[in-house]
Amino acid sequence: MARPVMIAPSVLPADFSKLGEEVAALEAAGVDLIQWDVMDGQFVPNLTFGPDVIRSARQHCSVPFEAHLMVHTPDVMAENYVDAGCSRLIVHAEACTHLHRTCGNINELGASAAVALNPATPVSAVEHVLDLIDLVLVMTVNPGFGGQAYISTMEPKIAEVRTMLEAAGRADDVHIEVDGGIGPTTIAGAAAAGANVLIAGSALYRDPEGLEHAVSDLRARAEAARS
Ligand code: DX5
């Protein structure tokens, strides 16, 4: 059975001076989960949320949190982000010397493990950890900043992940997520290619009709593209 469409915000464009209110507003707008773009200033040239920031926001809403760990040392940080309230940790294949062990350790912590692939990283990087993860993130921008242009040449790569999951018998267990440049004019291509978890930051916050409209519009566009 196809995995359901899930619309998830990146918190990057939110007002950092009131993150508790911001995550409550995102929940009220109907998001399925919230993604925290964790950046260490080393893996990507930007610095964002420590675990204590996420912990403080956790009490203000009830939707699941996932941490997108754009960091050089995910093994060192994993437990802190699980303790802060993240139920999924997304590590970058490019940052993991021992990806199989990293994913297994995340599962041991009681969280779901997931792997992100930068645009140049081949799908084969996750071929041998499909039994340890519940999500593959195909980056549709080069990580580090919000507001970048969608890289449409990633759509065949999304389809390749879907084919790999089907061949491995994991299509019903593993989500395909995309992140970067997702908005009203790009979401259909990503969804049609096979993505079911769609991360949007700028597109949610720049919708003149507000967050709730943005979430429902993106959801409708993604579902229409899959039917
Ligand atoms: C890149 C970030 C962004 C963010 C979404 O490292 O991960 O992709 O989540 O940004 P928008 O939706 O503004 O492209």
- Hey, what are 4's tokens? 């359901």
Structural contact between residues 195 and 2, judged by C-beta atoms closer than 8 angstroms: no
Classify burial at 2, counting beta carbons within 10 Å of its beta carbon; exposed 0-12, middle 13-18, buried 19 or more.
exposed
Helices marked H in the chain: 19-28, 51-58, 74-83, 99-108, 155-167, 187-193, 202-205, 211-226
Q: What's the CATH number of domain 6-226, 3.40.630.10, 1.10.260.40, 3.20.20.70, 3.90.1150.10?
A: 3.20.20.70
Instruction: Compute the distance from residue 98 Cα to the ligand 1 centre, in Å.
Output: 26
Tokens of 27: 């929940």
pLDDT in tens, the chain (227 residues): 578 999 999 999 999 999 999 999 999 999 999 999 999 999 999 999 999 999 999 999 999 999 999 999 999 999 999 999 999 999 999 999 999 999 999 999 999 999 999 999 999 999 999 999 999 999 999 999 999 999 999 999 999 999 999 999 999 999 999 999 999 999 999 999 999 999 999 999 999 999 999 999 999 999 999 97
Cα separation, 180 vs 184, whole angstroms: 13
Q: Of the candidates 195, 179, 197, 90, which has an alpha carbon nearest to the alpha carbon of residue 142?
A: 179
* Local structure of residue 148 (DSSP, 8 states): P
Question: pTM of the entire structure?
Answer: 0.98
Q: 123: Cβ–Cβ under 8 A, 6 or more apart, which residues?
A: 117, 157, 160, 161, 164
Q: Using a 6 Å cutoff on CB, does residue 182 contact ligand 1?
A: yes
What residue's CA is closest to ligand 1, atom 8?
Answer: 180
Pocket test for ligand 1, best of 7, 69, 150, 199 (most atoms within 8 A of CB): 199
What is the residue with the minimal CA distance to atom 10 of ligand 1?
A: 146
